[in-house]
Every structure is written in structure tokens, then in C-alpha cells.
A and B are shown apart, each in its own frame.
Chain A
């Protein structure tokens, strides 16, 4: 099943790395949208349905927690799972992410295996168009 995934990060290179990592992890048939901060992400979310939002925490205009909080107050968007991918690694900060409603958390630096395992935990097993089960092993950027 092809998924629609929104990647939110203020760094364009990091958005590229996350998109390529997800595609190489068995989600190559998924469609990807990108936003540079939480505010831009909300605009996209109001126009297009997403199966998953993957967001950074530290962004200049509306951070990751503020984005989740805004989504949780919306009757429709509250159903969209959010995966945090961030450099923030303190126990308290991770607890804040999960308390705000994040479905999962991956710390940078990350491996494709970590991304794949967390997305499968949230969305279910990945299958690419040829029916093969996705594997992060031997991923080719």
C-alpha cells in the first residue's frame, strides 16, 4: 500500500535524507510532501490527507511540539500519526514529545533500520509496488 508522508524540517538537505531513507526502507511507492516548519506543514495538512507526518522539533516558526499540539486540536488532523526525528535526546524532552501526542520518536543520527522499524510500528508492514516486503538492508541512495 502506498502511503502519503509529510516531512517537516527546516533543513532542505535533511528533508532529502529522510525522504531517501524512508523510500529505501520499503516505502518507495509512497508519495512525499515537504514543509520547512510547523506552520507550513499545517497549511499542507489542511489541503491534503497524510498517512504520516515526520517532523523535526527545533524549527524557526512553529516547532514540532507546537505542530502536534495544533494537530491534536483539529477534529480531522488529530488522527494523523506524527513521528518525531530530532537531535533532542534528553529524557524530559522525549517525554514531552510523547505527552504531546507523538506516535514515536527517532533520534538523529539515525540508521535506515531505526526509521524503518518505527514507521512499520506506526503504519504496519511495508510493501513496495512489486509486492516485496521492504528492507532497509543494502539501501541505495
Chain B
């Protein structure tokens, strides 16, 4: 396993989930661009831990306004109909589907146990700069940025 392989699987999983289930067009950017996140007051985040041949976590971060549009498109609702519960559920499903899809692509023979996604409210829990063992994907959608961080804790990338 190389970091490049895992990064490619993560990109493919993000594209598949956002395009198929959230009807969102997207582009990947190579580096974190602070201007992508300017003007958004609240960031929503969700973390899902997994165990298997690889152990670690996947975190999805996106501004609340971006999440609102993604949730409305996901559920087939008008934006005004979206509730906080919908936002939380959609973000959890986004993390859940990306994690499952990454390992279906990267290691279809491996059996992974996905824990239930949990929303992150304490800023300290959100991983900051890229750490060893972490793959990050920076995504631009028409309605704002999405960042996905995949951290591996039992193996060196």
C-alpha cells in the first residue's frame, strides 16, 4: 500500500459519492486554499473510526451553508425544508459512504468494521495540518469547499 494508491481510492470514492448521491459537480485542488473557506462562519465536521487491515479515521469538513445545499440535493428537498437533523444525518452518511467506498476500491478482500459516524463539535478534535499517516483531499463544489481527511493509525503510509 502506498499513499498514492490510497489517495487515488479516496478521490474516486469522494467523486462517486458526491456525484451519485449528492448530485454535486466537483473539482479537486492540490493544496488547502484558505480563500475557499473565507466567508463561511461555521464549519461542520463528522468523524468515523474504522478497524480492519487498516485502522484509523475519516473526517469530513464543510461549511454549514455548503452542507445545506448538499443535504437538500441529497434528500430531494427545498433548502428551506432542511432541518438540523437532516444536516447531521446527511453529513454522517457522506462520511459513511466515502469510507465504505474507499475500502471497496482499495482493498475489496479486506473486511472493515465501520463505527457509527459522530459529529465533531470540539474544534480541538478536528485534525489540523497534515500529519504523518494522513491523506487529505481538498474539494471544490459549486457551493463551497469540502475537505476529507483519511488517517491511518496502524501502518505507515
Contacts and interface: CB of A to CB of B under 8 A. Distances in A.
A92 B111 CA distance: 7
Interface stretch (B37-45, B70-78, B122-130, B135-143): B70-78
A20 B99 CA distance: 24
Interface in A84-137: 86-93, 107-111
A93 to B, nearest CB: 6
A111 B108 contact: no
Contacts of B111: 90, 92-93
Contact of B20 (A13, A14, A58, A111): A111
B89 A13 contact: yes
B48 to A, nearest CB: 10
Nearest to A107: B104
Contact of B109 (A17, A60, A92): A92
Given A17-B21, A93-B111, A109-B21, A12 B89 contact: yes
B101 A12 contact: no
* B interface, over-half SS: helix
B116 interface: yes
Given A13-B90, A14-B89, A90 B74 contact: no
A20 B74 CA distance: 11
Chain B's interface size range is 20 to 34
B21 A60 contact: no
A90 B109 contact: yes
Contacts of A141: 75-76
Nearest to A21: B76
Contact of A109 (B17, B71, B108, B116): B17
A58 B99 contact: no
Contacts of A16: 75-76
A11 interface: yes
B85 interface: yes
Interface in B65-122: 71, 74-76, 85-86, 89-90, 92-93, 96-97, 99-101, 103-104, 107-112, 114, 116
Interface of B: 16-17, 20-21, 71, 74-76, 85-86, 89-90, 92-93, 96-97, 99-101, 103-104, 107-112, 114, 116
Across the A-B interface, give the 9 residue pairs with the lowest CB-CB distance, nearest first: A141-B76, A87-B100, A89-B104, A13-B89, A109-B20, A109-B21, A109-B17, A11-B89, A108-B97
